[in-house]
Structure 1
Amino acid sequence: MSGLQMNYAPIRSRQGELVEAAESLGDVLKARACDAELNRRLSPETMADLFANGLLGYFVPARFGGSELDWGAQIHIGRALAHHCGSTAWIGGVVGSHALYIGRMDPRAQDDVWGAGANVLVSTGSVMRDVTVETLAGGYRLSGRWSFCSGVDHASWALLRASPSGDHRQSYFLIPRADFAIEDDWFVSSMSGSGSKSVLVKDVFIPDYRVLSMADMMAPSPPGAQANAHYLYSGSFRPFSGSNLMGPILGGAEAVLFEFERMMATGEGGVDASDVQWQLTYAEAAAEISAAEQLINLMIRTQTRYGSVGLPIPKAERIAVVRDRTYAARLCLNGATRLVTGLSADSVLKDAPIQRMFRDLQGMMQQIGVNWDRNMINCAKASLDMNTDIPELNAD
């Protein structure tokens, strides 16, 4: 090149700012990660940091003061947070994305949730027990117990799934914090800091406008489209569903890789950076995690390419989304396992950071969205024009 200096200012985006904010919290999140695991919930200070930096408002509609970003923002933010704390990443990248569901509901429900401000966390529950739904004039009466409600200690609302009387189809019921109790039953081996406890509801009336069938939630032109034109609130949502967890999974695997790199530099865990076997282990794990990143980025590009212009994703590419995210998750776990299983005995101690990172990653892998057998078998069936258990893979 000539001596001419190219001084173009970098193009900044709101998504980029939020990812930078997530990375900037690294030291404090790492310092709090052990306590989050021990306390089985994120601290109020961590929640305040997430809200203050806009890390839970990326899918809140702009008319309420949210960022209203494109699909993929939650994956990039979750990935960045997972470099420091897997549980924080789950709340930031997965639970925070539940704002999308509220944005697709009746505008009156949106006003209930965000009318006083955008800094609201909505926890969801789909694993139900002893649930009853009574249809009444103007609404429903709901009772039951829902498990795995991540972040519920900090949630102002719960979005719970149930089937109205005489209807086998499930619907979403939006309930304020005053109308449900929290059961402290989150005693687990991984992702403890996510605080995914159960909620109890007893004889609570829910008005019609705060109830939406799953079919209508996923279909184009849901009630929320009246007020929010962005494609994530107005278009078909089924091809996007299930991909939120890829940010924490990728970031969790990278966290293990980064910690392993630090251990190579210090010689901790019996890792000898001059040993060819350790070099091969490190290089192969890094390649697996990098390959996973490429598959995840391809998934995001496919989803946004069609969604942003209101076109349905063709069947072959819908199959690829499910298949590739499942394979990317497997690559992340394989890479992290390769790094952790050869460490010396002192690295097995529960408070070793790499062990917490690895435990959390294993917990994330339990999600149905990346379940190997279910997803791969159904992707094969869909490719062979056979009926599947995954609705978005069946239609042409």
Structure 2
Amino acid sequence: MNIEVKTAKAQAQTPTKEEMIARAEALLPQLRERSAEAEKNRRLSDETVQEFRDAGFPKILQPKRFGGYELGPDTATEVIRTISTACGSSGWVTNLFVVHTWQASLFPIEAQEEYWAGSDDKLCSTASFAMNSKMEEVDGGVRLTGRWKFSSGCDFADWFIIMKPSSTCFDWMMIPREDVTLVDDWFVSGLSGTGSKDIVLDNVFVPAHRRVSIMDIATGQTPGMKELQIPMGRLPFGWPAIWGIPAALIGMAEGMAAAVQKTLIGKKALFTGEVQVERVANQMKLTECLTDIHAAKLIMRNRMAELNEWAAAGGAPNPAIDAYVSHRDASYVARMMGQTALKLTQMAGATSVYLGNPIQRFQRDINVGVTHVSLVWEEAAENYGRAVWELGPKQRG
């Protein structure tokens, strides 16, 4: 199918934001049922990933030129949040399938044509933390050898993107599945179902067209976006991309709050016999948690709306400060959801620790999710504070 036909087909079949959210909501019952199985197996089921494909989730940000929807990060975050209310690992992997497809669209068109050759229904995984790696510049590209961590959803990936190929290079490089070896070391306390295993490369050749500069990514000047002319591509990649994880954390907190609310119905205090839902303390705690979750959603939605405006305008109104706003808000939301999870756990009582109760899984998934390197509140706050006081970026050795 040629590019013009693919584009016309995608435009004719593009769902609305509301339709995508409805598709996510329709999957929630089976995702809840499979959440324990996903944790036990340390990966999502084939059925779940096929349902995500059928619903078109990986195509949310995918270019229409290659059969995608180009719906924008506001749709992506709502779908991710919705899925996460049933299963944290499912929401986490949904985020990465969506974002990784967007990442592929930043590479030169030649690389994109390779990526989507034969099908517009491809999945991708990334790896960014190198345990050890070697990058050698050679004629026509580079050769990579090493081992990288945290390749979420790797069992289903057709392609991989190495985001830190060496200790001195942060460019992205695209690798086909056949060049990658998976190492199953994913034995963790939370988000077990994400299957975030190690990957190993052994003297793999990466042609120059499957490489994109980190500076182009950071400034919104990638070759893929220059060719495709998608408005959001004018912005630094990290501004919208950072929101997938906070969206998932909000959804997990929503699912956890609902589980706590259900658990306390009909339950009585052990020593006093007082009905738990009639205790003023519990009513106040639940209200506080639900209000924090509501506030987090409002922050996220406000940031998505502003990013859409900035993309349409071709840039932020005050780049010196606005460059740090998205990171500030995303990190703040993540921290708030971590605190909310702790409050909900303490409120739920001892019965919440049983493995048959989803509360404990949500708690562990959130606890792991907030440790992500992109969401360190102190770093985000420092950078924003320096920008407000016009101190300039901090020099790091």
Question: What TM-score do the two structures reach when normalised by structure 1?
Answer: 0.90
Please identify which structure carries the higher helix content: 2
Q: Is residue 223 from structure 1 mapped to residue 223 from structure 2 by the alignment?
A: yes
1:285 partnered with 2:289:
yes
Which of 136, 140, 144 is matched with 1:134 structurally? 136
Q: Where does structure 1 lack aligned partners over 5 or more consecutive residues?
A: 1-11, 392-396
Query: Which residue of 49, 52, 55 maps to 1:50?
Result: 52
Q: Determine the structure 1 residue equivalent to 2:373.
A: 368
Superposition pairs of residues 173-188 of structure 1, within 5 angstroms: 173-188=173-188
Change (3 A) 1:169 1:33: same
Match of 1:123 in 2: 125
SS, match of residue 58 in structure 2: coil
Tell me: CA distance 1:277–1:238, structure 2 relative to 1, closer, same or farther (3 Å). closer
Say if 2:381 is the partner of 1:379: no
Question: Which aligned pairs between 1:2-17 and structure 2 lie closer than 5 A?
Answer: 14-17=16-19
CA contact (8 A) 1:243 1:369 kept: no
The CA deviation at 1:67 is: 0.9
2:85 touches 2:254 (CA, 8 Å); kept in 1? Answer: yes
1:356 corresponds to 2:361: yes
Quote the residue 1:36 is aligned against.
38
Shift of 1:313: 4.7
Q: CA deviation at 1:268?
A: 8.3
Structure 2 residue aligned with 1:273: 277
Match of 1:7 in 2: none
Code of the residue aligned with 2:345 in structure 1: it is: V
Contact 1:100 1:232 in 2 (8 A): no
Partner in structure 2 of residue 244 of structure 1:
244
Helix, strand or coil at the partner of 1:329: helix
Q: Is the Cα contact below 8 Å between 2:183 and 2:200 reproduced in 1?
A: yes
Provide the rounded CA distance (Å) in 1 between the counterparts of 2:367 and 2:268.
Answer: 23
Which is further off, 151-160 or 368-377? 368-377
Tell me if the contact between 2:144 and 2:206 (Cα under 8 Å) persists in the aligned partners: yes
Q: Deviations over 1:303-326 (max 9, x none)?
A: 111012212352333333222222
Does the CA contact (< 8 Å) of 2:106 and 2:212 recur in 1?
no
Residue 162 of structure 2 aligns with which residue?
160
Q: Report if aligned partners of 1:130, 1:145 keep a CA contact under 8 Å in 2.
A: yes
Report the equivalent of 2:212: 212
Gaps of 5+ in 2: 1-13
**What is the deviation of 1:342?**
3.0
Q: Aligned equivalents of 2:128 and 2:268: distance in 1? A: 42
Question: Which range is displaced more, 104-113 or 42-51?
Answer: 104-113
Partner amino acid, structure 1, of 2:357: A
Q: Give the direction of change, closer, same or farther, for the CA distance of 1:268–1:376 in structure 2 (3 Å limit).
A: farther
Q: Which residue matches 1:143?
A: 145
Secondary structure at the counterpart of residue 239 of structure 1? helix
AA partner of residue 321 (structure 1): S
Could you tell me which residue of structure 1 aligns to residue 100 of structure 2? 98
Superposed displacement of residue 269, structure 1: 9.3
CA distance in 2, matches of 1:201, 1:49: 30
**Two-structure CA RMSD over aligned residues (Å):** 2.2
Separation in structure 1 between the aligned mates of residue 377 and residue 45 of structure 2, nearest angstrom? 33
Matched, 1:89 2:91: yes
Q: Please, which moves more after superposition, 348-357 or 82-91?
A: 348-357
Contact 2:131 2:147 (8 Å CA) reproduced: yes
Using the alignment, how far apart are the partners of 2:316 and 2:268 within structure 1?
A: 51
Post-superposition offset of 1:329: 1.8
